[in-house]
């Protein structure tokens, strides 16, 4: 792996001091913003107005992860904020190809996420429609959970399919990524790594980002 992307998740940041928390991760490639609606997942975080303000002050691009129902309706509104990428859950979208096209038409990279037990195979024919495939490595909803090794074969199958398709699709993993699990995910074929508690739980987030990067590229 020659190059990896580290996307710290602000879910583990101090929500009262978001601007300062963003400044602490300036060496990362993007900031991962977890949007939860208490319907698709049993937790509630933030929505459009707060994401808009994060976008206005962030020194690095935004990678929105929408854990929300009715993705077809809401995801395009996030793309209209000018975010670098918007990821919807396949399980929450009625028309994922149409939705991915709408995101791209609004200038965002289109990401599609799969819960740990959602198979990747039904979606392989639409690899050309997306820029990023997010394979959840925990059940979405909360930070600080343990990495699910049972997702590794799916990451491998996704990597083989992406390489075989010729499509330029990043494979992102999210959940339980730490200095001790990132190598397994990278070896399986992931190339974009979300880390919440491993970055914001560290005394020095910049050092944690550097350590994750080094471990992923080892
Ligand atoms: C969980 C979120 C993750 C979360 C990861 O549903 O999608 O982005 O912040 O947190 P860690 O890295 O602590 O598992
Ligand atoms: Zn996430």
CA 5 to chain centre: 11
The torsion angles phi and psi of 108, rounded to 5 degrees, stand at -100, 150
**Is 87 close to ligand 1, i.e. is its CB under 6 Å away?**
no
pTM: 0.98
Q: Which ipTM did the prediction report?
A: 0.99
DSSP 150-193: GGHHHHHHHHHHHHHH----EEEEESS--TTTHHHHHHHT--EE
Burial annotation 6-22 (CB, 10 A radius, 16+ → b, else e): bbbbbbbbeeeebeebb
Q: CB of 63 closer than 6 A to ligand 1?
A: no
CATH number at residue 208: 3.20.20.70
Per-residue confidence (pLDDT) for residue 2, from 0 to 100: 42
Q: For the segment 30-82, what is each residue's pLDDT rounded down to a tens digit?
A: 999 999 999 999 999 999 999 999 999 999 999 999 999 999 999 999 999 99
Ligand 1 atom closest to Cα of 143? 10
Structural domain range at position 90: 5-217
Is residue 143 lining ligand 1, measured as CB closer than 6 Å? yes
Catalytic choice (29, 63, 131, 174): 174
Q: How many domains is the chain built from?
A: 1
């Amino acid at each position: 792996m020659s190059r990896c992307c580290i996307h710290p998740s602000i879910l583990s940041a101090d929500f009262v001091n978001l601007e300062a928390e963003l400044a602490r991760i300036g060496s990362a490639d993007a900031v991962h913003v977890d949007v939860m609606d208490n319907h698709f997942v049993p937790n509630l975080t933030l929505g459009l107005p707060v994401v808009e303000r994060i976008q206005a002050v962030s020194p690095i691009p935004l990678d929105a992860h929408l854990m929300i129902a009715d993705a077809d309706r809401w995801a395009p509104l996030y793309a209209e904020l000018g975010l670098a990428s918007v990821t919807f859950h396949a399980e929450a979208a009625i028309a994922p190809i149409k939705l991915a096209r709408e995101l791209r038409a609004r200038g965002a990279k289109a990401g599609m996420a799969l819960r740990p037990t959602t198979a990747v195979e039904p979606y392989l024919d639409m690899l050309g429609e997306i820029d990023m495939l997010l394979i959840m490595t925990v059940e979405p909803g909360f930070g600080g959970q343990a990495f699910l090794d049972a997702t590794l074969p799916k990451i491998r199958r996704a990597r083989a399919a992406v390489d075989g398709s010729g499509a330029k699709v990043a494979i992102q993993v999210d959940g339980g990524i730490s200095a001790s699990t990132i190598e397994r995910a990278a070896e399986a074929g992931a190339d974009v790594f979300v880390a919440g508690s491993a970055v914001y739980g560290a005394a020095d987030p910049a050092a944690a980002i550097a350590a994750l990067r080094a471990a992923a590229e080892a």
